[in-house]
Structure 1
Amino acid sequence: MSYEYAVVVTYEQREKVFQYMKIIHLSAECYPVAKAGGLADVVGALPKYLIQEEAEASVVMPKYANDWMAGQQFETVFEGQAPLGDWQFDFRIQRESDDTLGFPLYVVDIPGRFDRPGIYVEQQSGIPYEDDFERFIGFQVAILDWFNQMRVSPDVIHCHDHHTALVPFMLTQCYRYRDLEQIPTVLTVHNGEYQGIYDHGMQNLLPYFDYQNAGLLDWDGRLNCLAAGLKTCWEITTVSPTYMKELSYSSHGLEGLFRSEQQKSRGIINGIDTEVWDPETDPMIAHHYNSRKMAGGKRKNKQLLCEKFGLDPQYPTISYIGRLAYEKGADLLPDLFRSFLESPQTVNFIVLGTGDRSLHYQFEAMSDRFVGYFDAALDYNEPLAHQIYAGSDFMIMPSRVEPCGLNQMYSMRYGTVPIVRSIGGLKDTVVDLGEPDGYGITFYDFSLEAARHAVQRAVDLFGQGRTMAGLRKRIMNLDFSWNASAKKYIALYEELST
């Protein structure tokens, strides 16, 4: 079955046959199919909002051997064989039959490459897969071979992060895809910390191209997938305006490239899926509420949350949700929390996340030492995350690097006040209470002293009951949905297609 036939059948039923611009997103992650971070949340939400703007949006991702995939029905829409250097590999393109995500989801099935539970690493050991390059170059080649067979090509190919960043290079350089080279490409950098860097010998796995242009793959003497995509895509976007500026002076060696490509670059702030993140309907929280009936809902959810972690709900409860990683500033948290837990003040702290093993050990020791005031769940737990957003008073994000950040938007949606370092997307989405129309707590320096001052402001704010209640109601009514951002993407696609 061809791609066009599958799409025509669906859209004839909806009386929307090829009327709208066709945008195809390529990504390693998509919520709720497979998630390691915020990339999945973006790719799982943006297409739905593009469809609301009367675009025809879909997602293509690898077919992992995880529980979500196992629970869905798929139909094969294309089968092929593609080159990986001197070898050939078989692949299938399959479509999720019922469109349960609100948009068409296509998966690339490559036997022996993606039929594993983990996205990037072995689930048990946490060790990255040794065939990482082969996996994702095969994924991208299979997609382009599929596109080569389409009677009607996409209007725009939207690539996400380095796992799909070789698509713009192959479209412009590989002889195999010459018929596709006029399709506009957008490359969104969700996190410039991860670039897909390999030995130059790996370029021999790409379909044939003019080796006089091999320099497009190079950055600092290595094959750099992200750099290749930045050089060859039609448009670069990042997930917040401030992060776009930051990349030009802090991007792990790509600063000069971001500066040289700034004429085709723009920052568009991420939104959140307000259907998934809605305290009035969220099936993952114990008690539903909205901004009009906020006080009772927050109180009941906090009571349940504190019972789970053995804390006293009468005290301010400050939580951290996220990877325990350097860029998230998680290494600041143990000393920060201890400075309050060892003081006469009474504050609750909760941590949910996994990552750096030394932080695991510290948090485990703190859980034993500060029983009744601190606890940590050192794993990935989506339902618990929702309950923490609903039951906490404050959410802390001390990031060293934060391209956009979604947790601060989730927390405000649930009436939980953000405490954030003013950087990247955190700066674009949280205005300090000390500023006109401010609604959050921010700090600038990455230091224990600055973070401690911010937390102290939160503790003091908690003691001002009426002010705190008014602030909660206000942040719940802020609009962080994808609506405005989707319109900006539509405008970008239209620019590229004309």
Structure 2
Amino acid sequence: MKIVHLSAECYPVAKVGGLADVVGALPKYQIDEGVSASVIMPKYANDWIEDHQFKTIYEDHAPLGDWQYNYSIQREEDDTLGFPLYMVDIPTRFNRPGIYAEPQSGTPYQDEIERFTAFQVAALDWLSSFSDSKKPDVIHCHDHHVGLIPFMLTKCDRYRGMRDIPTVLTVHNGEYHGVHPHEKKYLLPRYDHKDIGLLDWDGKLNCLAAGLKTCWEITTVSPSYMDELSRESHGLESLFKAEQEKSRGIINGIDTDVWDPKTDPMIDYPYTRTKMAEGKRKNKKKLCDRFGLDPQYPTISYIGRLAYEKGADLLPDLFRRFLESTQSVNFIVLGTGDRNLHHQFEAMSSRFVGYFDAALDYNEPLAHKIYAGSDFMMMPSRVEPCGLNQMYSMRYGTVPIVRTVGGLRDTVVDLGAEDGYGITFFDFSLQAAADAIQRAIDLYEDGKEMTKIRKKVMNLDFSWNASAKEYIKLYTELTAKK
């Protein structure tokens, strides 16, 4: 079975969020299960891509509305990711350092629909050039950036020869739809005008909606999030309800080769489950030294985008409640996003020296160090389709503090429940989150219980193995319908 994944992101090639982690791991685990899997993505102008060698294997031109553009397909020569990586090189659209926006200013690129439509058309043109025996058995699309592929495969004359190839559309984040003006529909290759409604939602081109309507199967990255999308998905609730018979939630896994405290080259002191206490102690001291904190106090961290859906706006008041109290506790923030939050955290770093600090950027090595050196990981999300940080944390013996939403509900069981191992809260409120942090501090002060919970979370299995098998089962079901 031949599976092709299409995505705007893939770790470590280009990453903004969890989408990249999934696309960078799932194909590798699918190969381990005996299927052929590869990734097609745009070729950006970033450091990772410039540091690796690519071989051009195909060149052609393709239409974008009334225009024609040249493109090439390039394969990463050494397959360093554990699977074939193919990049669509469209210099006029993707030879930029950012994925969706200018890295320095954060200003989104204004030609998003032209960029990603050109990428999708070029990828499908290349796949359509294959002989029937070499064409993929399933095309797996990830998020709205490639949401037009199911429509083009089923409705555009240009791809008539691939209409029987099943498509899977995974919604990693239903907050983003890829909405554009109505007239942008004519960028696509020719299709029957009677099908134009499939591209439409609320009078505009909606790439995610188009994909949901026309793909063979919809998946999301956790069962709970699948249910939540039919109640809150920024206007697509009725569509998710209408398509529920072809929908299912499959919880994400993590790449346990990358996220392993025993072999992780990014942490200062590797450790195992049996030597967890010593490893955590050494890494915590190193981490606290870096941020000017006292390692004897409980250390609670936040890693992620400083964005509304992540609940990051709750953090300043939440942390200040404890920093202004008589309790001794450390807080660390790593992330970038909302500029107002940047300013607040910078002010807090100056005010609460020795108890709070923030690194306001994207720093993958530092993230690993924080997972290894922290006692707790805070995730107060308003929306969390799956969440990976809680799984990374537990892999390193760091206890998650999470709001029970989406995939966080599916992966973290509260300490108060039978076989529980995490700290959860339900309401998105300052009081509920503060109560959860107080529980964490109380747990930390009970050294014996804290050690027990750390060992417990490190023994949980969040690898991709089970999820990869679930996807392969889905692919098999779909190919049987051809």
TM-score (norm 1): 0.96
Distance (whole Å) between structure 1 residues aligned to residue 98 and residue 66 of structure 2: 27
Distance (whole Å) between structure 2 residues aligned to residue 365 and residue 393 of structure 1: 24
Distance (whole Å) between structure 2 residues aligned to residue 436 and residue 293 of structure 1: 26
Q: Unaligned 5+ residue runs, structure 1?
A: 1-20
Name whichever of 280-289 and 69-78 sits farther off. Answer: 69-78
Matching residue within 32, 48, 54 for 1:74: 54
1:343-372 per-position Cα deviation (integer Å, ceiling 9, x unaligned): 111100000000000000000110011000
Matching residue within 275, 289, 304 for 1:322: 304
Matching residue within 421, 428, 431 for 2:413: 431
1:244-277 per-position Cα deviation (integer Å, ceiling 9, x unaligned): 0000000000000000000000000000000000
1:217 aligned partner, one-letter code: L
1:149-182 per-position Cα deviation (integer Å, ceiling 9, x unaligned): 0012100000000000100000011010000111
* Equivalent position of 2:349 in the other structure: 367
The aligned runs of 1:46-445 (5 Å cut-off) are 46-151=26-131, 152-445=134-427
2:118 aligned partner, one-letter code: G
Distance (whole Å) between structure 1 residues aligned to residue 256 and residue 243 of structure 2: 33
Distance (whole Å) between structure 2 residues aligned to residue 263 and residue 428 of structure 1: 21
* Equivalent position of 1:473 in the other structure: 455
1:392-415 per-position Cα deviation (integer Å, ceiling 9, x unaligned): 000000000000000000000000
1:43 aligned partner, one-letter code: V
Q: Indicate the SS of the match to 1:171.
A: helix
1:223 deviates by 0.5
1:147 deviates by 1.0
Q: Unaligned 5+ residue runs, structure 2?
A: none
1:77-122 per-position Cα deviation (integer Å, ceiling 9, x unaligned): 1111100011110000010011000000000001210011100001
* Equivalent position of 2:438 in the other structure: 456
1:130 deviates by 0.9
Distance (whole Å) between structure 1 residues aligned to residue 38 and residue 392 of structure 2: 24
1:385 aligned partner, one-letter code: A
1:292 deviates by 0.4
1:405-436 per-position Cα deviation (integer Å, ceiling 9, x unaligned): 00000000000000000000000000000000
1:290 aligned partner, one-letter code: T
* Equivalent position of 2:14 in the other structure: 34
1:479 deviates by 0.1
Distance (whole Å) between structure 1 residues aligned to residue 24 and residue 376 of structure 2: 26
1:492 deviates by 0.1
Distance (whole Å) between structure 2 residues aligned to residue 368 and residue 102 of structure 1: 44
Distance (whole Å) between structure 1 residues aligned to residue 469 and residue 158 of structure 2: 34
2:341 aligned partner, one-letter code: L
Q: Indicate the SS of the match to 2:231.
A: coil
- Percent identical among aligned pairs is 75
1:316 aligned partner, one-letter code: P
